Each structure stands twice: as C-alpha cells, then as structure tokens.
Amino acid sequence: MSLKLFDLTGKIAIVTGASKGLGKAMSLGMADAGADIVLVSRTLKDLEVVAEEIRAKGRKALPVPADVSKNADIERMVKEAMGKFGKIDILVNNTGISGDKPVLKMEEEYWDYVMSVNLKAPFLCSKAVGAEMVKRKKGKIINISSITFYMAIPNMTSYCASKAGVVQFTKALALEWARYNIQVNAICPGYFRTPMNEKFFSTDAGKKIIEQTLPFKRLGEPEELVGSVVFLASDASNFITGAVLVVDGGQILGK
C-alpha cells in the first residue's frame, strides 16, 4: 500500500468551527497532509490566528467568518471558497454547541437553537457544498457527531438528539449521493480536551468522570482526531460511505 493514498496535496477542504479545539486541530492536520483550508467560524480574529499557522506550513488558508446556521452565510462561504480555489474537495461539518438543560427547564427557543447549530447547519452546508461536488462527481463530506448518538446523557436531551440526527443524516445522504461518487461519513468523538470543556474536567467532578468512565483514564487530545479525518478525507477511504467512526478511547464499550 502506498502512503500516497493519504496525501491531500492539491485538495481544498472547508472546515466549520475551525478556530478552536477539534476544528483547529483537524484543519492543521489536513494542512500537514497537503490540503489548502477554508476556515469557517463566527469570529474572524480567531480564524486569522489559525490561518497564519497553516500558511507557516506552506499551505493556503482562507478565513471566512460565517454563522453556519444561516443559509445566506453558507452561500457566501461557498462563493468565497469557489472564487479563490475553484473547487471544493472536502467538507468537514464540525460546528457544534453543547445542549445541557433538563427538559422541564428548557425553552422551545433553546431546543431550536441547539438543533439549528448541530443538525441544521450540517444539512445546509452539505447542500450548498454538495451542489459543487455533484458537478465534479467527486467529494468527501465528514460530519462530526458524538458518542451521544449511542450513549445517552441526562439533562442533555437536545444535544443527544441533535448528534443522533447527524448520524442518520450521514447514512441517508451517503446513499443519496453515492451515485455522484461522494463519500459521506461521520466521526463520533468521545471526551476530548477542548477550550469548551477544559475547565469542567479540571474540577473534582470532571476528574471523577475521567477516572470512572474512560478506559485510558484521560481525555483525548485534539491532535488524536487528525488521523481519522485525514483518512476519511483521502483516497484511502474511496470505498467507505455511511460509516460511523467512533473515536472515544473505548468509552462506549461498557455502555
């Protein structure tokens, strides 16, 4: 087997939620593999920091500030990406928020907001980017879900429901777009260290969760997701679609 199968040289990847955490790590990892990256999040200042790191690797980076729950922003994102690069090979739908309210205290608007970011955004981005991929009959879409597609957590019903929806959306879209040679797969991370959760996992309650529920007794590091996304973005996965790749250090094995 040639390692060229994993080479992303000449590929153009869009990564949403790219300014921090897992999105940043995946963007830098695909740049290391040769891809040029369109970086998307709501804050341009944070995107510029990641863009400079990618350029320092000798790759091109296009920061695009956008709210991916809004169709107008997504259409502008695709227009800017196509204007600079002329094609889009890879889409990583990574943007997500935590939904941590119990049902009896959850407003309808809160439920709708979680769904709009975690489930509606992958649909809108896939539709807009997929239209360009269909024209070329080639593309990779990678949806970032969560182990909560399988493992339920109390007081996080909106999050669990949205991430389970991402998995079923992935499978159905994989069947729908196989005719266009577009592979659609999902990565389901477990507990990774990110700016969003680092404070909690440094508390006694967080440390207890790590000790009692994680077989490796530690959080995953964002860089440990890079191999999975490069694999699914590369030619090495050309005959894989509708797959759900769990990257959780064995956390759900005991569930």
Residue 159 catalytic? yes
Strand ranges of the sheet holding 90-93, from the earlier edge strand across to the other edge: 61-65, 36-41, 12-16, 90-93, 139-144, 182-189, 244-247
* Bridge partners, 91 (sequence order): 14, 141
Give the DSSP H or E segment for 123.
Answer: helix 121-136
The whole-angstrom distance between residue 116's C-alpha and the CA centroid of its chain comes to: 15
Backbone angles phi, psi at 89, to 5 degrees: -95, -30
Helices (H), 154-222: 157-177, 198-201, 204-213
Q: What percentage of the chain's residues is helix, strand, coil (to nearest 5)? A: 55, 15, 30
Catalytic member of 150, 159, 180, 191 = 159
Residues classed as catalytic = 159
